[in-house]
Structure 1
Amino acid sequence: MRVGLVEDHHLVREGVRLVLSAVPGLEVVGEAAGGAEAFALVEAMAPDVLLVDVTLPDADGIQLLRAVRTRFPRVALIALTMHRDAETVRQALLAGAAGYVVKGARASELVDAIRAVAHGDRYLHSTVTGVVVEDSLRWLHAGSPLSVREREILGLLAGGSSPVEIGHLLGISPHTVRRHIANLAAKIEVRGIAGLVAYARAHDLVREPG
């Protein structure tokens, strides 16, 4: 089973490589320190599974997951991250990750995740399964497929605010806002800002800034 790794910290890459190289049937065929190298890695080495850190210095890991999934649909993706919040888990899964493993996981858990996604299954680390269940229940009780933060961003966007303005109002970066917007379009299956605005108006979500 061929495994690729996208991770900017050398020590983490080295540790993962040492762990996986000791497992029969697993081979680390390539490593990338950032998003710019990730596509070259996949094209050159054709891994069965790609581990992707969602926090990279030169790229948005969530967007990278989505781009790799679109361009190389046969590669199984695992988000490898320190983040355990529901929002990041949801975004990673929506972007195409079949697995989600936190960096505090045991080596055996990472191996289990790789084997699971390589065989077409999903894998969520035990520390985030509860978060995912609670998040899903909140959606059900709210009667909406959107999280509170997504509804806020969509409402402000429909009200005429730019990503920079939305970020300022909500205390998050414009980059994070743009990532939310891309995820929103994928989640509610619309195209572009016009589609998002139309959805917001139809569901009475428009929010004027200020």
Structure 2
Amino acid sequence: MQTDKLAVAIVDDHPIVIEGLKMLLQNEENLQVIGGFCDGESILAYLRLNKADLILLDITLPDINGMDLCRMIKDEFRSTMILILSNHTERSIIMQTIQNGASGYLLKNSSIDELRNCITEAVNGNICFSKEVVEIISRPTKNQLQGRPQLTRREKQILALIAEGKTSQAIAGELFLSPLTIDTHRKNLIQKFEVKNVAELIRAAHQQYLL
């Protein structure tokens, strides 16, 4: 029955990709492609007037990046499922889209069977990745490969206080040290973790269970 079909929207900045996906999906009994959109604003405008059950979303769009658009759609239209269909292979992008509410991530060279499988998984409330994406996210990160930095007792103490949001001045007062000494420890910690700033330091320390 027509009403049982999933209403699918395709969002990609290349019209030829949209047309290709439409042709690929037109014979799927459980799907009905309701439209193709080349930018974020047009899909948002459509969704405010119409329902889509599933969106196949690219990351690269002319007006809004797909990661942000994914979050915006999920915030406003919670029941709409989103599968990312992209050429981007960066682990951080893949993980960010999932955090932003996507039900899965596929590369554009995925097979129709992989796409079918991911759609089924999404409908069942699961998160699904194409085979290549599984390989990307299962590789160890640089931090994991390098192992944990060796910290002195004092460095662990200062790291914990930094994570609490305390300033060098406040930490110095608490530990009866000079603010300059605390700043030196802070710089050493940033260097040991090979990060750029305190926010990254805290994130890396959490990832390595040092906080």
Q: Same fold (TM over 0.5)?
A: yes
Asked whether the 8 Å contact 1:54–1:62 carries over to 2, the reply is: yes
Please show how residues 39-50 of structure 1 align to structure 2 within 5 Å.
39-50=44-55
Report the alpha carbon displacement of residue 118 of structure 1 after superposing the two structures with TM: 1.8
- Equivalent residue for 1:179? none
Please show how residues 1-210 of structure 1 align to structure 2 within 5 Å.
1-135=6-140, 138=143
Structure 1's 136 and 116: CA in aligned 2 closer, same or farther, altered over 3 A? farther
The count of corresponding residues between Structure 1 and Structure 2 is 153
User: Which digits, 9 at most, give the CA deviation of each residue in 1:37-86, with x for residues without a partner?
Assistant: 11122233311111110011111111001111111111111111011221
Using the alignment, how far apart are the partners of 1:47 and 1:6 within structure 2? 12
Query: Over aligned residues, Cα RMSD in angstroms?
Result: 2.7
Greater relative contact order (CA < 8 Å, ≥ 6 in sequence): 1
Question: Which stretches of structure 1, 4 residues or longer, exceed 4 Å deviation after superposition?
Answer: 135-143, 197-205
In structure 1, the gaps of 5 or more residues are: 144-196, 206-210
SS at match of 2:83: strand
Letter in 2 for 1:111: R
> What TM-score, normalized by structure 1, do the two folds share?
0.64
Give the fraction of aligned pairs with identical amino acids, expressed as a percent.
Answer: 25
Asked whether the 8 Å contact 1:20–1:111 carries over to 2, the reply is: no
Structure showing greater radius of gyration is: 2
Report the alpha carbon displacement of residue 128 of structure 1 after superposing the two structures with TM: 1.2
Structure 1's 204 and 58: CA in aligned 2 closer, same or farther, altered over 3 A? closer
In structure 2, the gaps of 5 or more residues are: 1-5, 149-196, 206-211
Structure 1's 203 and 21: CA in aligned 2 closer, same or farther, altered over 3 A? closer
Asked whether the 8 Å contact 1:31–1:41 carries over to 2, the reply is: no
Using the alignment, how far apart are the partners of 1:102 and 1:27 within structure 2? 22
> What TM-score, normalized by structure 2, do the two folds share?
0.64
